[in-house]
A and B are shown apart, each in its own frame.
Chain A
């Protein structure tokens, strides 16, 4: 069912996306107005907060995990599969990266590489568990990915709350990772996580456009049965794609832990809501990697702008979440109108 349904979400016809964004801005503005705020001031604050040159580093810094989680969602979506378990995969990646950085006896750059690799493998395996469950037992991945997040989050929370807790602080978090394991800083809040993410983004686009496996995945997205008859081994493909998707989530977790938090902190990876924003960005582009990356950047701008709006106008920044949801809903519904006429 998920295959069929998501296949039809190849959303954008060119005017649809700007129109949806316009509708989102309009509805958001009305909401602000209804709750006694000034929509013009709110949107100006968002724009300045996101796009003023002095704020670019912040926007980029927010974009790294968000675009990462966009790719996590976009990759399976390209093949008509939905990964709703980004939260669990992100947490596993972050925790494993922190533990590897704390306990592996390796020198500087090797330690970083090993931590990232461990995180990616752990998250990748966890994500492919859901794929295996579908191919082996027929448990729909749409729901199993989501349900698998809960044990991952719970166990991670337990581990840093009890056995691995940093006793020096009162919080549920691990000790600080050693200096050697921290990602080198480029400038301001930006670290080489940005470069890693650009490399991954390029790799995903290249995979999608230039490789046989990428072609097979797109074919599956268009018609899974046809792809199967054409010789694509669907079960193996599903497990591989979910491994890759999870591995990217693991990378995002590792970048956040090694690059800015410097420890695994209970809840810190999930509160910003990267997973769901990323999923919406991926849906916005119907899983096409380049479009998804653009949508991810757009949402990142919207969210960093949201912080500025909250500071300056006291309008809560969750407004940006409402905007994202309205844009997606409008596109999903409007797409149907287009489809009916064609």
Chain B
């Protein structure tokens, strides 16, 4: 079988779709990491976003309403980390573990109480996001398939990746933001309100992840399932680690994950059982972590040697 028939345009199209929530969560993670707040609550934030999006879409009858709900409620949810890890000086790891479990429990509870169902909620009243058709490129083979049938959130995710990168490295706000993370006390001496920067960054990041959650529940399927984030938030944490808090490198890590995900979908259609193909992305992620850290260890060892020489 040739490569071209193995990687079909529709496969790439679905890979781009599946990357979107992870990319937004990873972007959120890099922002938080840059201001010195370790965020590993993205799994829970995606879930809250996905749930709020379905509630909003169901209640308002429009996908936009769903997206707004997702952003607002995920930002509210992120208040726990934003204030807990800064003003109250709580431990970010513990707070994030608590948030992930709270998200899982709360969405499951509300799903039962608000809609009277457990497991999966689907209803014709949930309006999904429309796929944008761009007539100019729609007819071009490959490109049309990949780029033309995506949601606005997918487009926005990539635009935001570029915007956040520019903001972070080319603007005064970005400089202060990085300063807060690198040396909070020095930044404080320079007159920057460190806590304010941290709180606002974590909340903004919450909005980004909420957007990712909306893509998750309204992007392809228009349903909410319990724990539907299914490890994507954790993959985003890894992407942040792989990218060392740089949005572009993190985005690249997300693409790597998307490729692995597409590969698993493809292997499944070749007749391999999904229990095995589902683990491909996680194995790839682990391998990527091992490789990237090995290089880093070597470099560190070399630095130590030269430092002692």
* Chain A contacts to B: CB under 8 angstroms: 1-2, 5-6, 8-9, 31, 35-37, 82, 84, 133, 137-140, 142-144, 146-148, 150-151, 154-155, 157-158, 161-162, 276, 279-280, 283, 316, 318-319, 321-322, 324-326, 328-329, 332-337, 339-340
Contacts and interface: CB of A to CB of B under 8 A. Distances in A.
Interface string B93-118: 11101110110111011101110001
A322 B107 CA distance: 10
Given A147-B238, A316-B113, A334-B88, A154 B97 contact: no
A141 to B, nearest CB: 11
B283 A162 contact: no
Interface in B77-135: 80, 83-84, 88-95, 97-99, 101-102, 104-106, 108-110, 112-114, 118
Contacts of B97: 84, 279-280, 283, 328
Contacts of B98: 280, 325-326, 328-329, 332
Interface stretch (B14-22, B54-62, B147-155, B292-300): B292-300
Interface in B158-185: none
A58 to B, nearest CB: 21
A82 to B, nearest CB: 7
Given A143-B234, A155-B279, A276-B101, A316 B91 contact: no
B101 A340 contact: no
Contact of B93 (A6, A139, A151): A6
Main secondary structure of the interface of B (DSSP, over half): helix
A273 B247 CA distance: 34
B114 A158 contact: no
14 contacts: A5-B38, A9-B93, A35-B114, A143-B234, A151-B279, A154-B275, A158-B273, A158-B276, A279-B97, A316-B112, A318-B108, A322-B106, A324-B105, A340-B88
Interface string B254-285: 00000000000000000001011011001101
Contacts of B110: 35
B145 to A, nearest CB: 30
Contacts of B76: none
A134 B77 CA distance: 32
A133 B40 CA distance: 20
B276 A329 contact: no
A145 to B, nearest CB: 11
Contacts of A84: 97
Residue among B91, B241, B279 facing the most chain A CB atoms (10 A cut-off) = B91
Given A1-B38, A31-B109, A133 B234 contact: no
B143 interface: no
The 7 closest A-B pairs by CB, nearest first: A321-B105, A336-B89, A325-B102, A154-B279, A158-B275, A35-B113, A336-B90
B286 A144 contact: yes
A151 B283 contact: yes
B231 interface: yes
B289 interface: yes
Given A138-B293, A154-B275, A336-B84, 14 more contacts: A35-B110, A133-B290, A138-B296, A139-B293, A147-B282, A148-B286, A158-B276, A161-B273, A318-B108, A319-B105, A325-B105, A329-B84, A336-B89, A336-B90
Nearest to B296: A138
A239 B153 CA distance: 43
Nearest to B118: A316
B28 interface: no
Contacts of A147: 234, 238, 282, 285-286, 289
Residue among B98, B118, B297 facing the most chain A CB atoms (10 A cut-off) = B98
A8 B84 CA distance: 14
B273 A335 contact: no
B218 interface: no
B67 interface: no
Contact of A143 (B105, B273, B289, B297): B289
B102 A326 contact: yes
A321 B101 contact: yes
